Amino acid sequence: MDTLNAEDLRSSATLIMKLWTSSKTASSGNEAELSKLNYHLRNLLPDAEKYPNPINFVIPTWETLWRLVATCLARVYDNAEYCHVFEEFLQDPTSRRFHDHSDSTISNVGYSDGLCADFIINETLRLHPPSRHISRSFPIETPSISIPVPKLTFVGGWPVLTLDWRHRTQIQTEVADIEAAHLSTDIWGMNALTFEPRRWALHADKDAPTLFVFGHGPLMCVGKKWAPMAAAIIVGAILECIKADGLEIVGGRSIGGREGWDDWMIQSFET
C-alpha cells in the first residue's frame, strides 16, 4: 500500500466514473480522458507483462465492489453494533466468522448476538443492488415466419436452383428486475425498505432464492463466492483506519449509487 500514489488512485477513480457515466450518452470524444486513465493505471500497475491492459484488471470488480463497500459503510458507520461486527471480523477474517451469527463474544461487550458480517453485506446488497436489472439474450426460432434460402443442387449433371424454406431466428431479450424483487413487500414484508440485517437469519442455512444480485442459474456471477467476504474485509479495514487516525465519516443527505456522494466526507474530530 505504501507504494501506491494517492493522486493516481484519486485520478483513476474520478476518470473511471466520468467515462462510465458518459458512455451512457456519448459514443466518442473521450479519447483524452481514456489516455489519462491508462497513464494513472499504468503507474499503479507498472508490470506491463502481467497487466498488458491495466483497465481490464480493474474494471471487472470496479462497478460492483466499490459501490458495495461504499453503501455498506454508509449503512454502518454510525451504528456501534454494526461497526463492532466488522471490527471482530477483521481480527478473524475467516469464513466461519463471516457467517457465524451465534458467537457469544458479541453479547459479552453489550451487544446482541444473532448478527454477522454476512447478514450486513446481504442486507446492503438487497437494498442497494449494484445492478438493478440483469438482461439475457438468446436466439429463438419463429415457425410462423419462414425465409427462402437458395440451394444449388445437381441433377443428372445439370445445376438446379431450389429454395429451402427455413424458420427465421430472432434474438429475444429478457430483463430481470432485480431491484423490484429485492424491495418487494410481498417477499420481505412491510419493512422491506428498512435496513434490517437480522432478517437474514431466516436464510442462514441456505441461499436465499430472492437475492438475485449475482444473477441466478448457470450464468451466475463468479464473484458470489468471494466478493461479499472481500467487501466485508475492506469495510472493516476502512473503519479501523478511520478510528486509528482520529477521523470520522460525515453522512450526506442520501446514499449514492454511481453518483450522489458529493456531500459525504471523512474529516478529523477537530474539524
Q: What is the mean pLDDT of residues 207-229?
A: 82
pLDDT tops 90 at residue 113? no
Q: Is the pLDDT of residue 107 over 80?
A: no
Q: Distance (Å, rounded) from C-alpha 154 to C-alpha 157?
A: 6
Q: Which three cell numbers stand for residue 179?
A: 431491484
Q: Go through the domains of the chain in sequence order and give each one's CATH number.
A: 1-52 (no CATH), 62-131+178-268 (1.10.630.10)
pLDDT range class, residue 156, cuts 50, 70, 90:
low
User: pLDDT per residue over 22-53, tens digit each?
Assistant: 877 766 668 888 899 999 999 999 999 999 98
CA 8 to CA 240: how far, in whole Å?
A: 23
- For residues 105 and 174, the model is more confident at 174
pLDDT computed for residue 148 by the predictor: 63
- Cα of 128 vs its chain's centroid, Å: 9
pTM of the predicted model as reported, rounded to 2 decimal places: 0.78
Q: How confident is the model at residue 164 (pLDDT cuts 50, 70, 90)?
A: low
Helices (H) and strands (E) in the chain, counts: 10, 4
Above 70 in pLDDT, residue 142? no
pLDDT band at 110 (very low <50, low <70, confident <90, very high): very low
Mean pLDDT of 183-208: 83
Torsion, Cα of 56, 58, 62, 65 (10° steps): 120
Q: Which residues fall within 8 angstroms of residue 155, CB to CB, at 6 or more apart? A: none
Range 245-260 average pLDDT? 88
pLDDT at 128: 93
Distance CA 66, CA 12 (A): 13
In terms of pLDDT, which residue wins out, 198 or 157?
198
Q: What is the pLDDT of residue 146?
A: 62
pLDDT (0 to 100) of residue 207: 58
Q: Percentage of residues in the chain with pLDDT exceeding 70?
A: 81
